[in-house]
Each structure stands twice: as C-alpha cells, then as structure tokens.
Structure 1
Amino acid sequence: METAEDFVFYDNSNDRWTYIRKIVFRCFLIFEILLFITIASIVWEPTYSKSIFESYSVTVEKIVDEISTAKKDEIEVIGEGFSLNLKKENQFSLEKSYSNVNQSNNKLVLLTFDDGPDPVFTRQVLAVLKQKNVKAIFFVLGEQVVRHPRLLNEILKDGHEIGVHTYSHVPEGVDLYKDKYRTDFEIDFTQKAIIAQTGYQTRLFRPPYWGAEDTITLNTLILSTKAIDKGYRVIPPNVDSKDWMNESRDKIVQESFVPLDISVVLLHDAGGDRSKTVESLTPIIDTYRSQGYQFVTTQNVFGNSFEVLSSVSLLDKTRSQTAISAFIFRKKFLDYFAPVFELNLGMVTTYMSLIVFLSFVSYFKSRILSRNTKHTPKVTVIIPANNEEEVITRSIRSVLNSNYKKLELIIVNNRSRDKTYNLARKFVKKGRVRLFNETRLGKSYALNRGIKYAKGDIVVVIDADTQVTENTISEIVKPFKNKKIGAVSGNINVGNHINFLTWFQKIEYVVGLNIDRRALSLFGMSMVVPGAIGAWRKSAILKLGGFRRDTITEDAELTIKLQLDGYKVAYAPDAQAYTEAPSDLSGFVKQRYRWTYGMLQTLFKYRKYFFKSQHGLLTRFLLPYNAFVVLPFAAMSPIFDLITFNYVIWVNPRPILDYLVLFLIIFSVLVTISFLLSGEKSYWLILLIPLYRTIYQFIWYFILYKSLATALKGVFVPWTKSVHYGSFDLYGKISNKYISVAKE
C-alpha cells in the first residue's frame, strides 16, 4: 500500500519549500534593489544647476508657448553671436550673443562635427585634425555613442571637445510639443552615454536640423530652451558647409569659408558618406589660416570662467552606466523580439503541418483497420463512483445499451454519501451488473477493487459522468487483437455545450484527440489513456501492480509504465463517449489542476528514462519533449505575453498584430481539420478562437503555476473529483437539473 511518503514530490520535512522560499526571497530582494537602482538611474537628470527658469517663475513650456509662432517652422532667432541665450524684455525671445565670451581676439574659427561618432569617418577626421594640429568640437548622438563607445575616448585623447546632439537626431515626424518626456530623454540619455563611457560630462548642446539660418523649428526651440534650462550652452553654427547635401569637395570648401569674428563651421562626421567632408577638411583649414584665422575650441572662447568638460563622481558614472545598460538591454531585447516571433511562427507552422500529416495518415489507417478487424474478447466495464447520484443512472444505462454481448459491468461505490449506491443497486438485478464498495477514498483504490473481481480479459474504465454509444465497447476492443497493445484511448467528447467554458473545452478536446492523439497513435504512444473512456489489457495491469496512488493521475502514471514495459497504446476514434465538462470556473480549475499536477508527477517519476534508447520514441522524444519543451514554453508564455504587450505599446504593434493574425489563421485551419476528422459539425466554434487564445489560455497559465508551486511545496494532495450535475443526456436534451453555481 502506498503511503504519503511514496507520493511524488512529497516532502514531509518541508525543508525543500523552506529552502526555495529563502532563495526566492533573496533573488526577489536583489531584483528589487537592482530595479530601484536602475529606475533611479534612468530618472536621474544630469543637470548643472537648479532650473534656470525658476528665477523667472516660469516653466519651459510657458516660454516655448510665448516664443513660438503660428508657423511652427518659422520661429525667429534674433542677434548675432556665438551662443544661444534667452532674452527677457517684454517677453521672452531667443538671441545669439557674445555674452560670457572672451572677445580679446577676433578672427576665430571653430570646426564642429555633428551626428557622430562613426567608426570610419570620425577616425579619418581625427587623423586630419591631428596632422593639421587643430582642435574641434564633436556634437555626438547618444545612439552612436552606444554603438561605438570607444571613439569618444579617442576624441578626448586628441584634445577635442564633445557636445550633446540629442540621442536619436529626433526624426522630423516626432512632435516634441506633445511628447514632453522625449525632450528630456534626448538630452539626458546622450549625456549619460557620454558620462558612462568617458567619466566626463559636457555643457555643450546643439539641436539637430539647425544650419546657419535665423529661423528654427518648434522642435529646435523646445530642445534649445530645455537645454538652456538644464545649464547647457547651446552652440548653433553660423557657417553651414552643406556637406550633408553631398556636394563636391570644392563646393564644401567654398561654403565653409565665411569671414566672421567667430566662425562656427558646421560639418558632419557621420550620417552618410562623409568622404567628401574628409577630403575638404585640409583645404578648409588652410583657407582659414591663410586669412589669419585661429582654430579654437569653446573652452578657448569662453575662458576659464566656464568649464566645458568636467569629471564626474563615481556615483554619477555608475548611475549613467546603469541607465544606459538598462536602455541597451531593453532595445536589444526588443530588436530581437520580432525575429523570435517569426521563428516561433515558423516552428508552429512546421509542427502543425507535421502533426496534421500524421493525423491524416492515422485517420486512413484507422478506417481500414476498423472495417477489417473483428475482436470480441470478454470485457469488464468498471465505473468508479463517488457521490454521483446526478449522473450514475445515465452512465449505467448507456453501458447496458451497448451492442457488445460479451460484457459485464462492475460499479465500485467509493464512500458515497448520497444516493449513488442505492441507484446503482437497482441495476444489479439485471444480471450483468455487480456492485462493490471500496472504503478507501480514491479512484485508484476503486479501480483496483473492480479489477480484482473483473472476469474480462479487457477492462474498460469509464467515469461515472461518461455516457457511451452503442458501439463504443465494440470499437475500443478491436485494437487488442494486436497482442502488443496494452491500452486503448477512446474518443472523448464534451456532452454539455452550455456556455463559453464548455465550448472552449469542446475545441480543446476535438483538437487534442483528433490531431495530437491520432498522430502519436501511429507510433503506439500516448501520454495518457483518459479515465473518462479507456481500455486496458487486464493481464498487463496485474503484471504492473494495478493503479498506483503515488500520483493524482493514476491513468497517466499507468499509461507511461505500460509503455516502458514494452506495450503500445492505440487510439480508437470510433469508440466515442461523452463526458460532462466542468461548466463553472471553480470546477474547471480543480479538474485541470489535478490533471496538470499529476502529469508533472508522472514526468518527474520517470525522469530517469529520458533519452534512453531502449524504449524507443517514448523516452527519446515524447517524455523529454513534454518535460523540456512543452512545460518550459508554457511556463514562459505569460512572460512572453507581457513582453509582447510591452512591444506593442512602446515599439511597433504591426509585426506582433500580423503574427497574431497569422497564428489565429493557422490555428483556425487546425481546428477545422480536427472537426473534419472527428465528424464534428459545430464549425461556429471556430469564431471563438480569439477568445480561446486569450481568456482560456490565461486560465491555463494560472493552473500551471499553481501546479508548479504545489510541486515545490511538496505537500500531499488528496484525491478529489469534479462535481457533476447531470447536465446532459446522450439520448435526450440538456437536463433541467443543471445548476450554474458549483456545489461545495
């Protein structure tokens, strides 16, 4: 007799769960700390002073509204000068000025390079500048810094300056007026990228899309105003080389020379083919020098009162590195997410194509065998019953209505407290029916009691809520003509089609039986011969010690043990039976929790056989596939769905929606084929597939996690059964006795 200690996963000491809780708590604590540090690093703003505009008692948004015009691409910038400042008279305005600039020397030129760094052209530019002994200012993009971080140190090593040029160059379609958080991101994350790589922060900023014009766009106004508020010096160019227009070298040199007191020349070291820019650099430098100009940096112009580049604390560098690492992780993860969807779709399509092909082969094979096979061994039908007064009568009558002659029926009353025993007792007078009592609670005990007194060579087990057709017994015994067959699965159908939950189960049963089980039967394999309708070779059961109590799915455990002993398992599609599926959520969860947890127990119990060759595909493929593919993928699915939701919201919903549509189409085709193979006519159920994939799937996630948690806890799970209401009659209509609220 099995004891609690024999129960798979049972841990009487509770040491395993205590240890797991400690590990989980520590991991959760570490995760929470890292999450807090990451979030704090992301929201941290590397500004240089308290908001400048607070002294005006005004916000950036207010200033932008005051300066902007009805024509958002024609906002005027007044004055002439080296840097951009905010002027306050009657109202705010942007002004180019020489304030805070050391003007002791005129004829100065600053070479500035935007959009880098680039691994090819930035290095070529640096080589020319080094040869000509000229220092320049590189206004970098954050995304380029992340891609090519080492180039920043090469720039600084050569004595050049670095400035912020936004993170993504802000595509022109982006409306920063509406997306206020984007502005902070574009500035702050570029600064963090610079700090993370170099340990220095810069006070220079230049917005994109600003040449030498005196009018700017609304986005440029927003970025410039925000940068000024954060303490940056905004350095617009006043000389545009127009190298971005892919002009010739001579044209670039011509456009680059404009004799001003302080010429700020706009060039590019990235963003396209900049070979012409590199070629133009030497003549540009020579031209300015021939006119008496001196090449300087912003530090030379501002003087010692302003520090362009300053070292940061270890804390700030760590925060910057954390923020950038988190951003890169998210971006890289999501970049590879769409291809993962494509791979998954390909795998699903391949799997479904293979399984459908095998199902059709099995379908035609079963048609031939069913017509040509006659086998009439002595059969004992066993119905274990525990408090089944609502359904037991119909189940018994359906068996006695069978056209199979060499049949006896054994009913095992398993500690029923209702009228089950008295109702079953009425049929004993019919001659072919025997009734026994089993005092030990549990289906395995009841089945073993019935097998003990069974006279048949074949034992057909049906649940008390199952109703069989006239030819169910005749069909289910045919495969036993093959002496290698140890068990046969019948074709179980949902009998009570009364609400969404039972409709979902209808889809699941039809697909699972007519696709998966058909395909596996070609190889004589199965994960479980269902207790609702399954037949067993009695000699095989007795040889293996009967149904055991060390798992809560005794049928699954015996199915695997039977195959490990060398027997094969068949599927009889014409052996149809109808069961009462749980019609309320509570009953459904209880039933599927028992099935799922029992299957986990069975896989764990026979784990030592995984990948062993002596048992064929069962141990080389089926068991490890369920343990290492089906189970992990199912456990990861909620996380995958969460990432999918994040991808749809924050990245690009189109590829995900396309994938979901394709998946639903493929699954709809699979369901349609399943209906065709089974002869099912309820094609309208295909319309429920979107709900099946969402609502029904998430219920399964909960059940799976509950089962996994129970396995880790190591508690003893007592045998339980579903409450049955007699909600259908195979030979009549839906019963009026159906109760929508589950009985406790």
Structure 2
Amino acid sequence: MRRRRGPAQHKPAQHRPAQRGSAQRRPAQRRPAQRRPPEPRGHWLLVAIAALLMAGALLLNAYAHNVVGETKPPPADYGDSAELERIRSGGPLVNVSGARPLSARPKPRTVALTFDDGPDPRWTPRLLDLLREHHAKATFFVLGAHVAEHPELARRLVAEGHEIGNHTYTHADLGAVPAWRARVEMSLTQKTLAAAAGIHTRLARMPYSSVPGAAGYGQLAAMRLLGDEGYLVTFTDVDTSDWSRPPADEMVLASLARTVDGEGAVIMFHDSGGDRTRTLAAVDRLLTRLEKKGYAATTLTDAVGLPTAHTAASPGERVLGTVLTFAQRASFALVEALGWFLAVAGALTLLRSALFAALAWAHARRTRGRPATSGVPQWAAAPPVSVIVPAYNEKAGIEATVRSLVRTDYPGQVEVVVVDDGSTDGTGPIAASLGLPGVRVIRQPNAGKPAALATGIAHAAHDVLVMVDGDTVFEPPTIGHLVRPLADRTVGAVSGNTKVGNRRGLIGRWQHIEYVVGFNLDRRAFDLLGCMATVPGAIGAFRREAVASAGGVSADTLAEDTDLTMAICRRGWRVVYEERARAWTEAPASLGQLWRQRYRWCYGTLQAIWKHRGAIVERRPFGRRCLGYLALFQVMLPLLAPVVDVMALYGLLVGDPLPVVAVWAGFVALQALTGWYALRLDGERASVLWALPLQQFVYRQLMYLVVIQSVATAVLGARLRWHTVRREGTFAMAGPAVAKPAAGRPAVRRGRTVRGANAPRRRSRP
C-alpha cells in the first residue's frame, strides 16, 4: 500500500533488465531538477465561497418556506385603549397612518371575497376559473415566497382584473417579530410583485388576523408600522375558517349571515395551505346565492369606493424583484437537486454494500475450509523468488522488514534485494550489517520509488517477483501464499492482504477498519469481477513477463502500484487476491501524516485513471468496470460528500432532526454490519467497531477533503511532490520480525504487535 519517493520527484531514466544473477550495480541517473507549478491553495477559497453560497441558498429556501424564523399562531391578544376601541368598532379596512384610526365598510349589497396564503399552482387557477364563470372579482392576499415561485399566477390575477394585497413574505406574525423583520417581510413581497406583475400594492393583511373586534395590543403595534409604510390594513367581517375544512354549507351559511339586511361584507377564504376542495365548493354555492340576492362580488377597494390598490413599480424595484425571484427559485432547485443526489447516493451506497458483501461471501466460500493448495494450479517445484524492497529513509523499520522476509517458511529459494534509494539516515548500512543469507543491498542516488523498483527488478535473479515496502513485515507463510496463484499461467499479479500493525490509537483503529473493509473486502469483489485496480506496494507478487509486457514500473504517476496493475490488466493478465498472504504495515500515526499519505495516493490514482482512460473503450471489460467504479465511488461521490454533511446540518438546525438522526444511524448500522462481516472474514475482532461512529465526524471529512484537494491539484495542472511519511518504527519496537500467528488469527492482538520470532517470548494469558 505504501508508495514512497524521496524529497525530489524526478522521473528516472529507464532501466533495462540486467542478466539474471548479475551483481553489477546500475544506479539510476538523476535528471536535473525542474521547477514545477506550486501546489494550489486558492481553491480552498473557492470551496469556502461555494459552501457559503450553498448555505445561503439553503437558508433562503428555508426562510421562503417559513422554516427559518417560523412563527406560530399567536396567543390571545387583549387590551383596551381608545385607539383599539375605534378599530374594533369600525369597518374591516383600517387606515392607522394618522392621529386616529379611520375605517371603511363595503357598500350595501357588495361583497368583497378575499383569499389568503396564495398563489397556489393547484388551487388558485381553479378558483380563478370559478370566479370567471360567475363574473366575479376578488382580492388575493399573497405570500411573497409563493409569488416568487409562481409569478405567472400573479400576472394572471392582475390580467383578469383581480386585486392583490400583501400578506408578508413567509406568513410571519407581524405582532410577534421585530420591526425590522416586519419591514423586510413586506418589502420582499413588494419586490416579488414588482418582478412578477410590475405593481406594488397598498393593501395588507396581517397573518393570523381576523375580525376587527379581535384586534389586540400586539396587532396594534404592527398596524401602526404598516400605516407608516403606507398600507391600508384589512380585517374581515366573516372568517370562514376554511383552513379547518368545515363543511361547505357551513361556510356558506356563515357568509350569508352578514347579508341578511343587505349589508356589505368582507369574507375571508384561503386558496393555499392544504386541500381546498371544500373552499371551492363553498365559493361556488355562495356566489350562486349572492347572484340570486342581487349582490355584486368585487375587489376590496371597489367595494369600499376607493381607487385601486395597485401602483406601478419602478424599474429598479423590478430588477431587484427579478434577482430575488431568481435567487429563491435557484435555491429551491438546488435543494431539490441535493435531495435527489442524496437519494441516488444513498441508493448507490446501499447497492454497493450489498453487492460487495455478496461477492465477498462468494469469494470466501470459494476458499473456506479448503487447504491452502486447493483451488489453484500447483507448481511442479516451488519456483525461486526475488523479493524487492525499495527503501528511502526506512531506518526505523528496515531491519524488521528484512528479517521477516528471511524467516519465511517458503520451501523454494528466496533472495531479498534491498534498494537503498539515496537514504540519508543509514537505511542501506543497517540492512547490509545484518549479514543475513540471501540478502543483497543495492545503493543508488535518490531517484524515486519507481526507479528503485526498476533497479531491483534489473538485479533480481528470478522470474517471480515480490515487492514489499520498507516499513512492512511478512508472516512466515506469506510468500508461499502470495506466489502460489502464479502457477496459473493466466495470472500476472497477486495482491496480498495488508494489515495495520499500529492500531492502538483512534487514528490507527480507523485505518484498521478502513483497510479491512474498504481495501480487503473490496479486493475480494474485484477478484471475482476481474477488475483489480491496485496490487498494493506493501505486498504484491508479479510475474516478470507480466511486468515487462506492461512496460515495467513507470514513473508517470505517484501511484506506481495502481499504474502497474492497470497496465498489467490491460495486457490481458489476470490479477487476483490472496487473503491468506498477510503483510503488516505501519500506518500514519497523526492526522497530518495521514493527510500527506492519502493526498499522494488519491492524486496518484487520478493520474492512473487519466493515463489508462483508453481502457474504457477496449474490448476487455476491465476498463469499464475498474475505471467506472473508481470514477464514481472514489472521485465523484467523495467530491459531493460535503453535500451530505451540509444537508444533515441543515436538517438538524432548521428542520425536524429525527429523520436526519434516523438516516445517520441507519447508515452507521449498515457500515457496522459490513465492517463486522469483513472483520469476521479476516479473522479480526469486531470490538474495534466502537470507533466506527466517531469516524463519521473526523476521518470521513478528512478523506473527502483529500479528494477535493487532489482534484483541484489535477485540474489546475500542478505537479504534486512526493510526500514522505514519518516512520515510528512500530515493528522495530516490537521485535525484528513477526511470529507466525495462530491459524485464522491476526498477528496483532489487543492493539499490540506480536513480538518477533527471535525476540524474547512471553507467556500469554489463557
């Protein structure tokens, strides 16, 4: 898994294979240092701006739909004053802009039908058709947010001669909100009307208001504010309470009660906010009865004998209203798109988990309970193996690595070729001073890991090549398990099972879970699907012929192992996974080190995907399966992963948190179930899963930020330098080699690395 290069990333000169058995040194030639564009930094500003825009869009959408700043129906509002008494005893249309409130009533045998909370795309058009059938006019007190969503309905209202009033932008109780919020509510609605129909209105109706006799102190303060803004405040004579869906005949009788003596009346209905079937029926019957009684149904201002409430909006107001309308509709579209994305991403995640679990089960069933030699062709005799160890500044772990390779129980000949790639910490001398049989140390100027591997291959004496990182240790049976599938002539490479050795801390446990679930479980599926993307640098076996057919180890990418694996697959070789071939590696011990490693891995994977993009159109399915999977699940979904967190926070802060918590708990449970199965397949303890929920709050964000950084680096054309990771010497502290583990059990137990075979043994507790 580990890919290492020295401080300077130079493309090495191509190496030609040496005669096998030759001890001639062929150090890689260093190319002159070249200046390259610096790694990008400004894209984080773009990411921050995008996040702010998304947050603004979500807040605007929440505000427009009365989620943010929502006001509930007010409590009973009482109080007595001379001003209130004049309002309560007066008519339903009130002017409070002067010293004393003035009110007006509809003319005799005149009814002003008013409709609140619209326009609604379903009910308002049906209501307009009904009014046209009866040759009636009405006044619609609209919500600005609804006008912004359906401006064509506002235009139709004006075109058909109806009147529009201001009912706030989000149906906020003006008596309960600060004065600035009340002004904003009214102003935003005027702007949307300006954009939709080119008008302003002088009529206003406060949400949760009713008849004048119900007015209280809270509404009086709001009425004064509206009066100062130039509005005529509208109450009603008859509140049909159609929002509670009473029978249509009951609403008709309540309305007709005001017309017994030929009086005029203002009657309130609603054309939005729920099922308005009964409202339509009541309006139809009411208009029919009023026509028979000789009543006229008209607009509010016409009913009281005033000029129209509409005034022409200025061009500036129309422009501002257009911007507001566009912003609200864009925010609604964004939220809807994000909702669809979350649904699709969730479905893909569930499908992937189910499919990969099924494939892993099939892979495990194929090997479960069978001897290690079963199911694969057998060599006539164990072939000799060359183990290549590229090492750059691996002083902390090189001894443990080399000793573990020498102490293999593989029956054939094993040579270990350590390539010291210009280390400055004495890595090469340490390896040479061990004096172990079959170990050669080749030193060369620093030229990068691909060049070190090429040097090792050139000096390797055998056709079966095993590559291992300088911070990784093998179990004694590992080489045998790793080499055995190569007996099948169609197999060009074998991926081993990489395990995390330093898993005591939280970061180590997170990586342990990721290695078992995200890497090894996936490789079981890739084995069956024939689309292995990577034979990890920490443990892999190759047929020399396959490596040569792929053009050798290339320095074109930072993920030389992924690049080489893809090239081998494209040449028609099979790449398989052998879970019994275990290697213990040292994972980064800090978030900073983890970032550096994963940044390099992700960027290198992007380079490999781009380099091998032509595989998509090739006859073999490898390119479509492998590159398609990587592009979707390792690039696209991680790039959009911040949306999940943003939407989750949005739901927690402005909506009902229970669905968010339920979905989060469901996905954590799914991950835990998948993790439990993966750990079971690998013979690991499931107790580590306690760290899985915490992974959602730090580790997951780190991983998708790595993808964002990598994609930005690639898009901007900057060349990433090789990021080295500091080694802690995990295996050196535990012993120079690892002991053979018990059957079916890992070599690391209870968070501790098992001590080496030649280190002092301790009696374990029963």
TM-score between the two structures when normalised by the length of structure 1 = 0.81
Compared CA separation, residues 535 and 194, structure 1 to 2 (3 A): same
Task: Identify the residue that residue 635 of structure 2 maps to in structure 1.
Answer: 631
Please name the residue that 2:433 is paired with: 426
Shift of 1:525: 2.8
Residues 165-314 of structure 1 aligned to structure 2 (within 5 Å): 165-167=167-169, 169=171, 177=176, 183=182, 186-212=185-211, 214-216=213-215, 224-240=223-239, 245-248=246-249, 251-252=253-254, 254-257=256-259, 259=261, 263-269=265-271, 272-273=276-277, 274-287=280-293, 289=295, 297-298=300-301, 301=304, 303=306, 308-314=309-315
Equivalent position to 1:605, from 611, 635, 647:
611
Residue 365 of structure 1 deviates from its aligned partner by: 1.6
Give how far 1:284 is off. 1.6
Q: Note if contact 2:58-2:650 (Cα within 8 Å) is conserved in structure 1.
A: no
Q: CA deviation at 1:380?
A: 0.8
TM-aligned CA deviation for residue 26 of structure 1: 12
Any idea what the Cα deviations from partners look like across 1:212-238, whole Å, max 9, x if unmatched? 361247875675455334321111112
Question: Which residue, 442, 453, 461 being the options, matches 2:459?
Answer: 453
Does 2:167 align with 1:160?
no
TM-superposed CA distance for 1:661, in Å, is 1.0
Asked if the contact 2:88/2:215 (under 8 Å) is kept, the reply is no
RMSD: 4.3
In structure 2, relative to structure 1, the CA distance for the partners of 1:398 and 1:43 (3 Å cut) is: closer
Partner residue of 2:706 out of 698, 703, 708 = 703
1:395/1:186 CA distance change after superposition, 3 Å: same
- Residues 110-129 of structure 1 aligned to structure 2 (within 5 Å): 110-117=112-119, 122=124, 126=128
**Match among 519, 523, 545 for residue 517 of structure 1:** 523
Say which SS state the counterpart of residue 280 (structure 1) adopts.
helix
Q: 1:158-180 CA deviation, whole Å, 9 max, x = no partner?
A: 3332112344555xxx8973687
Once residues 396 and 38 of structure 2 are traced to their aligned partners in structure 1, the CA distance between those partners, rounded to angstroms, is: 42
State whether residues 179 and 225 of structure 2, in contact with CA within 8 Å, keep that contact through their aligned partners in structure 1: no
Q: Are 2:137 and 2:297, in contact at CA under 8 Å, matched by a contact in 1?
A: no
Question: In the TM superposition, what are the counterparts of 1:46-125 in structure 2 within 5 Å?
Answer: 78-86=88-96, 97-98=102-103, 109-117=111-119, 122=124
Change (3 A) 1:561 1:34: closer
Q: Which structure is richer in relative contact order (CA contacts within 8 A, separation 6 or more)?
A: 2
Given that residues 341 and 659 in structure 1 are in contact (C-alpha distance below 8 angstroms), is that contact kept between their aligned partners in structure 2? Answer: no
- The 1:31/1:430 distance shift into structure 2, 3 A limit, reads closer
Most deviating of 349-358 and 647-656 = 647-656
Contact 1:239–1:266 (CA under 8 A) maintained in structure 2: yes
Q: Distance in 2 between matches of 1:579 and 1:35?
A: 41
Measured against aligned partners, the alpha-carbon deviations of 1:375-432 in whole angstroms (never above 9, x if no partner) come to 42111111111222221111111111111132111111111222222211123x4331
> Partners in 2 of 1:33 and 1:487 — Cα distance?
48
Shift of 1:699: 1.5
Out of 665, 672, 692, the residue aligned to residue 661 of structure 1 is 665
CA contact (8 A) 1:85 1:228 kept: yes
In the alignment, which residue of structure 1 is the partner of 2:760? Answer: none
Letter in 2 for 1:426: S
SS of 2:724's partner is coil
Instruction: Note closer, same or farther for the CA distance 1:299–1:714 as it changes in structure 2 (3 Å cut).
Output: same
Counterpart code for 1:619: G
SS in 1 for 2:696: helix
Kept in 1, the 8 Å contact 2:90–2:212? The answer is no
Could you tell me which amino acid in structure 1 is paired with residue 265 of structure 2?
A: S
Contact 2:345 2:637 (C-alpha < 8 Å) held by counterparts? no
Matched, 1:317 2:321: no
Structure 2 contact 12–448 (Cα < 8 Å) conserved: no
2:674 paired with 1:670: yes
The 3 A distance-change label for structure 1 pair 665 and 442 is same
Q: Distance in 1 between matches of 2:691 and 2:718?
A: 37
Q: % of aligned pairs identical? A: 28
Given that residues 82 and 97 in structure 1 are in contact (C-alpha distance below 8 angstroms), is that contact kept between their aligned partners in structure 2?
no
Counterpart residue number, 2:746: none
The answer as to whether partners of 1:165 and 1:207 remain within 8 angstroms in 2 is yes
Q: Is the 8 A contact 2:533 2:566 kept in 1?
A: yes
Q: List per-residue Cα deviations over 1:557-588 (Å, max 9, x = no partner).
A: 11110011111111111111111111122322
Residue 297 of structure 1 and its aligned partner are, at CA, apart by 4.1
8 A contact 2:112–2:267 mirrored in 1 = yes
Is residue 582 of structure 1 aligned with residue 588 of structure 2? yes
Q: Distance in 1 between matches of 2:400 and 2:53?
A: 61
Give 1:471 shift. 0.4
Displacement of 1:106 in angstroms is 6.8
Q: How much has 1:510 moved relative to structure 2?
A: 0.8
Change (3 A) 1:694 1:236: same
**Tell me, what secondary structure is at the counterpart of 2:697?**
helix
Compared CA separation, residues 277 and 506, structure 1 to 2 (3 A): same
SS state at 1:248 partner: helix
More moved, 491-500 vs 152-161: 152-161
> 1:466 aligned to 468, 472, 492, which one?
472
Alpha-carbon distance in 2 for matches of 1:169, 1:28:
32
- The verdict on how the C-alpha distance between 1:600 and 1:482 changes in structure 2, with shifts beyond 3 A counting, is same
**How many aligned positions are there?**
688
User: Residue 245 of structure 1 aligns to a residue in which SS?
Assistant: coil
Alignment partner of 2:501 out of 495, 505, 516: 495
Identify if the C-alpha distance between structure 1 residues 615 and 225 changes in structure 2 by more than 3 Å, giving closer, same or farther: farther
- Of residues 545-554 and 333-342 in structure 1, the stretch that sits farther from structure 2 once superposed is 333-342
Asked whether the equivalents of residues 385 and 413 of structure 1 are also in contact (C-alpha less than 8 Å), the reply is yes
- Report how far residue 113 of structure 1 moved: 3.4
| Corresponding residue for residue 689 of structure 2 | 686
Deviations 1:64-98 (A, max 9, x none): 9998659xxx9995331342344999xxxxx8633
For 1:488 and 1:439, locate their aligned partners in 2 and report how far apart those are by CA, in whole Å: 30
Query: Partner residue of 2:24?
Result: none
Q: Partner of 1:476 in structure 2?
A: 482
Match of 1:344 in 2: 345
- CA deviation after TM superposition for structure 1 residue 241, in Å: 5.4
Contact map agreement 1:414 1:439 (CA 8 A) in 2: yes
Q: 2:698 is paired with a residue of what secondary structure?
A: helix
